[in-house]
Structure 1
Amino acid sequence: MSVRSGDVAVSVRGQELTFRLHESGERGGEAILFLHGSGPGATGLSNWERVIADLGDRYWCLAPDQIGFGDSTHPLDPPRGMAPFNELRAEALLALVDELGLERVHLVGNSMGGQLALIMALDRPGLAATMLLMGSGGAPDLPASPGLTHLRSFYADPTAASLEGLLTEFVYDVDSLKGTVDRVVGERMAYVERDDVRRSHEASFDMAPPRRFFTPEELATIDVDVLCVHGREDRIIPVEASRYFAEHLPNADLYVLGQCGHWTQIEHPEAFERLLVGLVDGHR
């Protein structure tokens, strides 16, 4: 199934923001919103291109570049810190689903995207039909991994070699995915070198504001079916994060993939798609 891309404008906090939206499948069908993670040069396509191409014959697949990423709007004066910036991103995503006429949608979030899915579900109960959280951030009391520290400080050395080193920390079997990593490095460097992308990255990873963690009390209010997916060898966000979410989300299951790092959907795409289809179709 081919992937098509276009722009969708929304109004948030009195300003117009534009999403670059990548999609597949028939508009008006069962909708899945794919939320990519953070990192230098990250986009909806670099995270989700294969998945949405594969599943477009079953669902209406939507994979926007988040605000502050890729070819979506980069605010001139962005919120400082991941938590404040993610609140803006979540508001914009809610405006996007309204613009698309979606009353309910399946939410799939990778890393930072998992945090956005949780914020959306908390801010608008009833929106999420199901949720798949893959290597999600937002769990408390976990130390920052070397890979996450490298990601946050990337612009101290914003080179292709540094980006390649960072992305090899995302995967378990570097040798088998060398071609994929090289391709993603090439795609992302075109964004990394842009001033607006750097501005958004540095605002997101301003460590001065308090970080946003999800409490057991908050998670207990999200009563939809949730699947927490995590690579056992994840060197960016440890598997304990998904164990935390699976423990406190009332209708959550946990699936841990062996010989897998932070990019489940890229390292084991068939298994990831099978899990997602089971979740979405099982909900029906």
Structure 2
Amino acid sequence: MPAEITTRDVQAGEHRLRIGTAGDPSAEPLLFLHGSGPGVSGLSNWERLIGDLGDRYHCIAPDTLGFGDSDHPNPPPRGMAAFTELRVAATWKLLDALGVDRVTLVGNSYGGQMSLAMTLERPERVAKVILMGSGGMPDLKPLPGLAKLIGFYDDPTEDAMAELLTLFVHDPSAFGPRIREIAAGRMPRALREDVRRSHLATFDFSAGGRIGWQPDELAKIDKDVLVVAAREDRIVPPEVSHYLSRHIPNARLHIVPNCGHWSQIEHPETFANLVDGFVRGAF
């Protein structure tokens, strides 16, 4: 039976963050960091997974600063590098507020980039790292799906949202009408001005700044890292996961077949077993 999920606001330094949690706070903590995209939130990425794992772990899934129902800085930092720096700082303050000294990071897509940044910044506070469909390779040319995500606000309609979400999964037909339902559910949040403002600031590439790591930087990561790639990912190409697994010394690479960008949603039992086994040291 899935663990109960509760939501609340936590003051993380000067910023308020909305979090969803499952499991006993005295259990081993796992921090789930969601990806980017219009209308995304911590629970939209992780609700099923933290419910499934909450009987064993203290699962924490925040709306990252500048996403969902957490604070949206105004004015926001311009560019992914500057906004990521602020988001990482706010996430550390969230863990401080929750009394979590050391944590395993589970990051999807942009959340994977945040996980890498956090691990390089404060390795003593990171136990293990799980990257799923993660970014982090420099000079990556966006796939059409990522380009559509970045440019969503050029045509912010429910049809455009549904079309975008079909690119996140390998077989949209397997979801039936759920894709349209998910799109409709995301639209009220996506159309909020604060959400739009944060999205456009994040993807302001004119601001410059680095959004990936060179091999010698990744080589400094001494944690056990599980890199999960979806073979049919149309948002972040699997080559990024291959790049990360080649250059992080203690990385393991797992390829999920017949899967798009959302391994945790398309194959939730497989992904939950990967997380649980890796955290327990089964492989």
Asked if Structure 1 and Structure 2 have the same fold, meaning a TM-score greater than 0.5 normalized by the shorter chain, the answer is yes
Name the residue aligned to 1:165.
163
**What's the TM-score once normalised by structure 2's chain length?**
0.96
Q: Does 1:140 align with 2:138?
A: yes
Query: In the TM superposition, what is the alpha-carbon distance from 1:209 to its structure 2 partner?
Result: 2.2
Name the residue aligned to 1:259.
258
1:184-223 equivalences under 5 Å are: 184-210=182-208, 211-223=210-222
Query: In the TM superposition, what is the alpha-carbon distance from 1:192 to its structure 2 partner?
Result: 0.9
Name the residue aligned to 1:248.
247
Q: Which aligned runs of 4 or more in structure 1 are off by greater than 4 angstroms? A: none
Aligned with residue 105 of structure 1, among 103, 108, 131: 103
- In structure 2, the residue corresponding to 1:190 is in which secondary structure? helix
- In structure 2, the residue corresponding to 1:42 is in which secondary structure? coil
- In structure 2, the residue corresponding to 1:250 is in which secondary structure? coil
State whether residues 31 and 61 of structure 1, in contact with CA within 8 Å, keep that contact through their aligned partners in structure 2: yes
5+ long unaligned stretches in structure 2: none
- In structure 2, the residue corresponding to 1:274 is in which secondary structure? helix
Query: In the TM superposition, what is the alpha-carbon distance from 1:224 to its structure 2 partner?
Result: 0.9
1:1-284 equivalences under 5 Å are: 1-11=3-13, 16-210=14-208, 211-282=210-281
Cα deviations by residue, 1:13-55 (Å, 9 ceiling, x for unpaired): xxx1001010000012100000000000000010000000111
Aligned-pair identity (%): 52
Give the aligned CA root-mean-square deviation in angstroms: 1.2
- In structure 1, the residue corresponding to 2:118 is in which secondary structure? helix
CA 1:74/1:179 → structure 2, altered by over 3 Å: closer, same or farther? same
State whether residues 46 and 184 of structure 1, in contact with CA within 8 Å, keep that contact through their aligned partners in structure 2: no
**What's the TM-score once normalised by structure 1's chain length?**
0.96
Q: Partners in 2 of 1:209 and 1:184 — Cα distance?
A: 32
Q: Partners in 2 of 1:262 and 1:128 — Cα distance?
A: 25
Cα deviations by residue, 1:241-283 (Å, 9 ceiling, x for unpaired): 0000000111000001111110000010011001000111117
5+ long unaligned stretches in structure 1: none
Cα deviations by residue, 1:222-241 (Å, 9 ceiling, x for unpaired): 11110000110000000000
| One-letter amino acid of the counterpart of residue 245, structure 2 | A
State whether residues 133 and 226 of structure 1, in contact with CA within 8 Å, keep that contact through their aligned partners in structure 2: yes
State whether residues 130 and 283 of structure 1, in contact with CA within 8 Å, keep that contact through their aligned partners in structure 2: no
